[in-house]
Amino acid sequence: MADRRDSDRLIDTDYTMTSLNDLPADELIRRTREFIRRVTNEDRQRLARDLRLSGHHATLRTAAPPTLLRFFTGETDLDEELAQRYVHAPLLSHVRFAPAPGEPVIRRTTAYFSSQDDSALMTVGAPVGGKNGAAVEFSFTLMSMMGLSFHIDPLADEERRGWLDLLRRENGITFLWTQARWERPYVIFVVRDLFARIYAFAPAGFEAGARMTPDMVAALADWLEAVWFPPRRVDEPPGGASERPTLIERPGTRRAGSNGDEPPPGDPFAGDLSPDDLVW
């Protein structure tokens, strides 16, 4: 084989590592959109599997809401379409809980997510213990005058756990709905790096939307996990919830260990959050 000169190399490129800060703005935007598109496609495929499991894939084209039909058939970007519909959705950046974390809860606990001027409020209520524990209700109130409520019940154990894991991602679209899918109220969370949007829908045609800061999304996920999956008492029989008062802890203050009791030694998530993390 004859020697090849350097100028005749088959591969002539520079593989020097480039920092994202050095990329042109248009290239950075292109890469970001490509990543979001890939995540959205993965979410669409996962949601399509859910429809097959519940049997709703057979009635998708005849019974599904038009927006969902366009999303599942790849005709629209669900994030973009809903964002255009709710361009000026209020930003929810404060949260408080009733009862307060650490106080006993008998039947129901509630989280109040509000805007900075308290003109917009999203109330999330969940019963604690008993056979109706796997339920949640989202209520949206505007100017303390008008409100819409969306009751989601029942929610299977594995669906709740899977939804919490998906909600904690930095990017993605996730649905919280029952096995009845769009035939009952449901909510859609669109999570991005610096913000999140929540949309609630009901079969009667009612809908609502709001934006949330990332720390509010984390607080919602941690609080619902504490409500839905509390540590089991030593004297509590398996397979049944105790009717005694439950103590709901402040979201993010404690992470259970492998046995569900105490966090492992040196756990960086154990202990109180800083005052700047949450507003109580």
Task: State pTM to two decimals.
Answer: 0.72
Q: Residue 235: exposed, middle, or buried by beta-carbon count in 10 A (0-12, 13-18, 19+)?
A: exposed
Domain over 91-232 is classified CATH 2.30.31: yes
**Tokens 């934006």 map to which residue?**
211
Which has the minimum average pLDDT: 48-62, 70-84, 172-186, 263-277?
A: 263-277
Percent of the chain with pLDDT over 70: 68
Checking if the pLDDT of 265 tops 60, the result is no
What secondary structure letter does DSSP report for 76? S
Distance between alpha carbon 143 and the CA centroid of its chain, in Å?
25
Residue 149 vs residues 122, 186, 234, 247: alpha-carbon distances, Å: 10, 11, 37, 26
Q: How confident is the model at residue 67 (pLDDT cuts 50, 70, 90)?
A: very high
Where along the chain do its domains lie? 27-80, 91-232
In degrees, to the nearest 5, what angle opens at C-alpha 214 toward C-alphas 210 and 219?
90
pLDDT of 102-136, one tens digit each?
Answer: 888 888 999 999 999 999 999 999 988 655 448 99
pLDDT of 212-259, one tens digit each?
Answer: 999 999 999 999 999 998 887 665 555 554 444 555 666 655 445 444
CA-to-CA distance for 263 and 250, rounded, in angstroms?
15
Per-residue pLDDT, 268: 43
pLDDT of 5-48, one tens digit each?
Answer: 555 665 555 555 555 566 576 655 555 556 456 667 888 889 99
- Quick one: which of 199, 195, 170 has its CA closest to 36? 170
Q: Edge to edge, what strands does the sheet with 186-191 contain? A: 91-92, 207-212, 196-201, 186-191, 172-176
Q: Which residues pair with 141 in a beta bridge?
A: 121, 147
Q: Residue 219: exposed, middle, or buried by beta-carbon count in 10 A (0-12, 13-18, 19+)?
A: buried
Contacts within 8 Å (CB) and 24+ apart, 183-191: 183/63, 184/152, 185/150, 185/151, 185/152, 186/150, 186/152, 187/138, 187/150, 187/152, 188/78, 188/82, 189/217, 190/78, 190/79, 190/82, 190/83, 191/167, 191/217
SS3 110: strand
The residue that leads in pLDDT, 269 or 246, is 246
